[in-house]
Structure 1
């Protein structure tokens, strides 16, 4: 008997009494009310019908990383006029590189303006998700942090918008939590912490550390360079001249997109840094990198280099071997006593989920991405995890420029897949393992030709010196967007609610406007 002729229970095939393009009702759970979650609410409402979407957010407010990261000096390393959604341009950013409070305010305003808040449940933390093959649903456990009770919910689709920079990582230093002074992480900054007059050690000189050091120095008065540049006057001009504003944004976008192949000579930047360090050979040897340009994100911070010349600053590059009650000891044997330790040591960027996600075979995605490097289909779907989608999964173009545009494209791609399932009676969809294997082969072969594969520790390689580049797309931003335009249906596996994949054709009529029951084309 031909496959698909009869349903699974062997009852005779029957015509579905509904017109073509009748959309099946689906329930969607989105994890996280940061940029991805906020944008997805709007995208679903503008694109799909007959669906409901609830967003669970573990923190007390929307905004994700721009709520959690509020340390002194925190700001975006992307120019403000390009760190915005395409559907919500803001000509009145107050600074060229806006601080966290202004970016968070931007998201808050959008949620109110677009009436998105009713879909969001704050202080609700997803703790467990398991795929039910028979019912074609995700069974999800959510803890209501307001009441400390667990609720059980189901959804046809599970969208993971928890992001990458949201799980702070403490340094693995012996004795860290024996320290009796103030111990602070940059991603969990106490709003009422008074560091004035204290001897503070800042551990880490990535983006957070570079921003914190000059901001908490009592001698430092103002930021220099573009970071402190006000754009309020320009905002008035941009409000009046929309064409000029668009040209300005496009010009910045062009510069950002060209970072993939920018030809700035390494020696020029080395000379610039040496000049900012006032020719201090010791500081130059410590701080001017020898790894390829673009290997790590370029940090727009003149203030950090200038702050290192202040009398109250002491730069230590020896590894810390031990932390004790009143300070720490370095590898060279130096003992340093401090009143506070600020760990600007970033996040867990392994891509492993923070809670168990059990797929079709019962395997936990946490375990899969522990035993092998994280991989996905176009950074938005994972083999064996039906109807599970991410916005910024492994090998997204997160080092290529603004994230907001990236998540917009991902949302459109995911929404297209959900609509296909609604319309064609598809119970579940998951990428084929062989498709992901082929994509991984291309990524692994392509990456050595880029600066990102250099022999230096980078969060693009999960903090490893050697190993695969798991965080970045193998191409430019435009390359990525071009790739996402076409849906490759052949790369996916489908299961259907009925045995016959064409049952969705229905009763011979169409819902298409202009082609209804008694219409011509």
Structure 2
């Protein structure tokens, strides 16, 4: 058989002589800050820019300054795995301390050099001919048009606050305040205040305002479970870390044991989301007892506040001081639906009108998980298509990291990524590491575009739809988990535990992606170049190059971890 030579003109470059890759990350919250630290370390030749709408970094912890704002998971869990602080002042940090911590981490790793604050992204549109994203950005009254090879959305779940749509709200004569856009210049001392909403912010802000106002009308559309604290037993969220405990953290081994203990607990409650499971029933009994103990003789409030759905259908909130506050004579707990807002207050559907000086809206954010600005390819805009009324109707993603039909577009902490257990910070680091592997593959293998296949995305969707009905996440509640649609499809949650998600995302499934290549022939191996490496060229010119980075002292002494041996991408 004669050799048939396939026509391919070799590209005259070394295989590792790669073009720079321009990546635009949208959002400089915790995900964006970690992107500024991890991606440059993991992707050679990266041209990174991070656009942040606000005037400073830290996302929700910059935006949310309402009284009582704090994290509802332990401080020593809600932090970077590679830059932990041993100096948290409280077991559950305030919003201000969390923002200060992430600002310090950003400074330590010089992350701000990649971040452009005060730059609001207006749209991202794919240009087929260029195979690039055009990102339109508003800054200081000017509109900028920037190009990027990849766009990564790290805009978060809570970045776009949503006021309620009650008739008359815009005509109300008093102050209207959204909890995530708190105005410290408004003094509510002695005022009559309406608080709408009993999610996390409503539960946190009410006890603080109750101390200073004359009256609170608390409008709670849905019942809610008030849980104990997460992660650290017998500790109240406002408790300071004792001096002796703080001092013991000076020993790294002692601190590591402490942190592993509380972080392990964050992974231990997975059984609690299984429908009719023993852990779910135990949690329900524990929360009922807690609520009864705190509410005392106010059985009327207990009957109104106790849900008919199991715990964890909605995001649990510890709520220190909340139950005690709503039993105070200055607080009225109202489950009757709001009909409209009048010029002086709020009227409910039973005809009762209550006058107030201010309305505090603890009504959360846009819950559809659609991008907060147009993301367009071939006339399809994900910011519209993913909404319940849109052409797709929900966020249709491949494992929460990408979407079919939208090349070179990635998501961090997007739809279908919030796991029932574990920590959001470690999950963010794992997702960014996966993103780095995707970027390295595109950059090093001459890939022009890559996106998940429709079939892989449909298979992931089928798995989700088979998994969620066995969990309490599919019960009849309203939550940001299900896009604010009572009993709706969970769109925020990962279909499994936190450790399950981290295991899945450790290694990419390259067979689930479709690719196009920069080579005019479309040959997938054109990136091989001319057969040389850069080190080969250095040696050929008489220079010195380390051709054996795999030979290290530990290989001579025999101190080799064979599990990871020869797996480091950079040891070539």
Match of 2:124 among 124, 129, 137: 129
Go from structure 1 to structure 2 and tell me whether the alpha carbon gap of 1:508 and 1:163 turns closer, same or farther (over 3 Å shift): same
CA distance in 1, matches of 2:164, 2:418: 27
> Which residue number in structure 1 is paired with residue 135 of structure 2?
140
**CA apart distance, 1:485:** 1.2
CA distance in 1, matches of 2:359, 2:146: 41
**CA apart distance, 1:466:** 2.4
Match of 1:243 among 249, 253, 271: 253
Contact 2:204 2:320 in 1 (8 A): no
> Which residue number in structure 2 is paired with residue 207 of structure 1?
200
**CA apart distance, 1:211:** 0.3
Go from structure 1 to structure 2 and tell me whether the alpha carbon gap of 1:501 and 1:52 turns closer, same or farther (over 3 Å shift): same
> Which residue number in structure 2 is paired with residue 226 of structure 1?
236
RMSD of aligned alpha carbons:
2.1
**CA apart distance, 1:127:** 0.5
**CA apart distance, 1:302:** 3.1
Match of 1:165 among 151, 158, 164: 158
> Which residue number in structure 2 is paired with residue 95 of structure 1?
90
Go from structure 1 to structure 2 and tell me whether the alpha carbon gap of 1:174 and 1:44 turns closer, same or farther (over 3 Å shift): same
Contact 2:69 2:204 in 1 (8 A): yes
CA distance in 2, matches of 1:514, 1:448: 59
**CA apart distance, 1:180:** 0.4
CA distance in 1, matches of 2:244, 2:502: 30
Q: Which moved more, 1:388-397 or 1:363-372?
A: 363-372
> Which residue number in structure 2 is paired with residue 504 of structure 1?
527
Contact 2:419 2:496 in 1 (8 A): no
**CA apart distance, 1:511:** 4.5
Q: Does the alignment pair 1:472 with 2:467?
A: no
CA distance in 2, matches of 1:245, 1:66: 25
CA distance in 2, matches of 1:71, 1:271: 29
CA distance in 1, matches of 2:348, 2:433: 50
**CA apart distance, 1:95:** 1.0
Aligned with 1:336: secondary structure?
A: strand
Match of 1:368 among 385, 393, 400: 385
Contact 1:21 1:424 in 2 (8 A): no
Go from structure 1 to structure 2 and tell me whether the alpha carbon gap of 1:400 and 1:280 turns closer, same or farther (over 3 Å shift): same
Contact 1:43 1:412 in 2 (8 A): yes
Go from structure 1 to structure 2 and tell me whether the alpha carbon gap of 1:295 and 1:243 turns closer, same or farther (over 3 Å shift): same
Aligned with 1:143: secondary structure?
A: strand
Go from structure 1 to structure 2 and tell me whether the alpha carbon gap of 1:230 and 1:514 turns closer, same or farther (over 3 Å shift): farther
Go from structure 1 to structure 2 and tell me whether the alpha carbon gap of 1:315 and 1:29 turns closer, same or farther (over 3 Å shift): same
Aligned with 1:381: secondary structure?
A: coil
**CA apart distance, 1:380:** 0.9
CA distance in 1, matches of 2:453, 2:327: 55
> Which residue number in structure 2 is paired with residue 427 of structure 1?
448
CA distance in 2, matches of 1:345, 1:13: 60
**CA apart distance, 1:289:** 2.0
The 5 Å alignment of 1:267-278 reads 267-278=285-296
Aligned with 1:258: secondary structure?
A: coil
Q: Which moved more, 1:451-460 or 1:234-243?
A: 234-243
What TM-score do the two structures reach when normalised by structure 1? 0.93
Aligned with 1:314: secondary structure?
A: strand
Aligned with 2:421: secondary structure?
A: coil
Q: Higher relative contact order at CA 8 Å, sep ≥6: structure 1 or structure 2?
A: 1
> Which residue number in structure 1 is paired with residue 510 of structure 2?
489
Contact 2:154 2:414 in 1 (8 A): no
Aligned with 2:332: secondary structure?
A: coil
Q: Which moved more, 1:66-75 or 1:290-299?
A: 290-299
Q: Does the alignment pair 1:183 with 2:176?
A: yes
CA distance in 1, matches of 2:253, 2:302: 44
Aligned with 1:81: secondary structure?
A: coil
Contact 2:420 2:497 in 1 (8 A): no
CA distance in 2, matches of 1:238, 1:471: 38
**CA apart distance, 1:398:** 4.9
CA distance in 1, matches of 2:536, 2:263: 38
Contact 1:91 1:238 in 2 (8 A): no
CA distance in 1, matches of 2:459, 2:397: 11
Match of 1:351 among 365, 369, 383: 369
Aligned with 2:262: secondary structure?
A: helix
The 5 Å alignment of 1:31-430 reads 31-144=26-139, 147-218=140-211, 226-231=236-241, 233=243, 236-262=246-272, 263=279, 264-359=282-377, 361-370=378-387, 371=390, 372-430=393-451
**CA apart distance, 1:20:** 2.1
Contact 1:510 1:516 in 2 (8 A): no
CA distance in 2, matches of 1:251, 1:226: 18
> Which residue number in structure 2 is paired with residue 9 of structure 1?
none
CA distance in 1, matches of 2:536, 2:240: 50
CA distance in 2, matches of 1:265, 1:201: 31
CA distance in 1, matches of 2:510, 2:307: 44
**CA apart distance, 1:153:** 0.7
Contact 1:200 1:341 in 2 (8 A): yes
CA distance in 2, matches of 1:363, 1:326: 43
Match of 1:24 among 9, 19, 27: 19
Go from structure 1 to structure 2 and tell me whether the alpha carbon gap of 1:400 and 1:347 turns closer, same or farther (over 3 Å shift): farther
CA distance in 2, matches of 1:100, 1:133: 43
* Structure 2 residue ranges without an equivalent (≥5): 214-228, 273-278, 551-572
**CA apart distance, 1:191:** 2.3
Q: Does the alignment pair 1:13 with 2:8?
A: yes
1:329-362 deviation line (CA, Å, top 9, x unaligned) = 1122221110000000001021111211112x33
Q: Which moved more, 1:29-38 or 1:366-375?
A: 366-375
1:221-245 deviation line (CA, Å, top 9, x unaligned) = xx99511110152563243221121
